Structures are given as structure tokens and as C-alpha cells.
Amino acid sequence: MHSYPHPLIAREGWPFIAAAVGGAAIAAWLVGFAWSLPFWIVALFVLQFFRDPAREIPGDAGSVLSPADGRIVAIQSAHDPWLDRNALKISVFMNVFNVHSNRSPVDGEVRARWYNPGSFVNADLDKASTENERNALHIRTAAGQDVTCVQVAGLIARRILCYVEAGATLARGQRYGFIRFGSRVDLYLPADVRVRVTIGDKVRATSTILAVLP
């Protein structure tokens, strides 16, 4: 089990949760609990959005783990624009009810990080990969295989957070970033990986093996 300093609620959510609970408490004091119920529902929604559970880490060093909770929306041969190579692309779409902390899909060294500003079209659409705000990591495994992991902002996501830079070492399942309020993560993998998921599958960050490296 990978332990985090905040295993239940992501620290990114603390100010939002405090504001939501504070607003609900003020509303209850001013107008009574019954009238303040919508404010408490909003506070519960904010609380569930920022949950950040620890997860069991399956497989071995050749297993590519899901970097996010969500649904598989793309599995296709693609050009990796970050490393200028042919690759196999797997995309995970996160809606507002998914856990939104992002975890490393493989063990390896971060060789480069890129940030591109962009628009905020629906992250469920494939054009989000090229048009939306995004942050990409190039991770190289000990066996020399290259994985590109791209955080993509969504329709209402307005903040991509990434806590690692080039030179950092990541372990499978390690928390490295967060995207607020709906988003997508694209993985560009070696073209000859063995895929373990299909379009429409629901996956969980760290817990689900997406593919096996050759």
C-alpha cells in the first residue's frame, strides 16, 4: 500500500471544503437547517470530489498502471507529439465524481516536463488531447522504455497541478499531480505493449493495469 500524508482528503481541496462547510454553517445559522440543506449538499459534493484514497499496487515493473480514475475513451495507434514517435495511446476520462489525484503509471525517471496552455473543450472528446490546456511528463523506465503521461484540462477544469520536474524519480502508484473538476489523462506507450483494457472500461488509478510493457 502506498501511504500518503493525506490518505483521505487531498490537500488541494482543503480551502474549497472549508469554504463550502463554512458557507453551509452560516446559512444554517441564518435561515435554519432545512433552508440550508442545498448548501450542505454542495459541501458534501466538494468533499467527495477531493477524496484521495490510498490504493494497492498490483503487478510488477512491467505493468502500466492507470494514472487516473475514470473511463477508457481511447485506445489507438497515435503519434506522440512530445517524443515525436509512433505510440499506442490510451486515454482515461475523469468526470466530476471520480477521484482526481493523478498517480505515476510506471517506475522511472522523469526526463522532461512540458506545459501547454490551451482551451477547455469537453475532455471526453479526442480533440481535447491537442486543443486543451495540458501538462506532459516523459518518464523513462529502468529498462529504457519511454512513457508519456499527459494531464489534460476539461470543460470546467481550470487548474492542472503537477508536483514533479525533470530529474525526479517516480514509483508506480506515486501521487504526482491533481486536476480540478473534470479532466482527462493520455498515456503514450511503446507501440508493442500488450493492452489489458477495452474502450468503455471503468478504471481506478493505481489499482487497474492498463497494459504490459514488452
Contact 90, 200 (CB under 8 A): no
Q: Which residues contact 127 (CB under 8 A, 6 or more apart)?
A: 121
CA quadruple 38, 39, 41, 43: dihedral, nearest 10: 170
Helices (H), 9-117: 14-31, 33-49
Known catalytic residue: 207? no
State the Cα angle at 128 between 147 and 123, rounded to 5°: 100
Which residue type, as a one-letter code, is found at position 164?
A: V
| CA 3, chain centre distance (Å) | 18
Strands in 85-94's sheet, in edge-to-edge order, are 169-170, 108-116, 134-140, 146-153, 183-189, 85-94, 70-80, 202-203
Of these residues, 101, 104, 183, 207, which one is catalytic? Answer: 183
The residues carrying an active-site annotation are 183
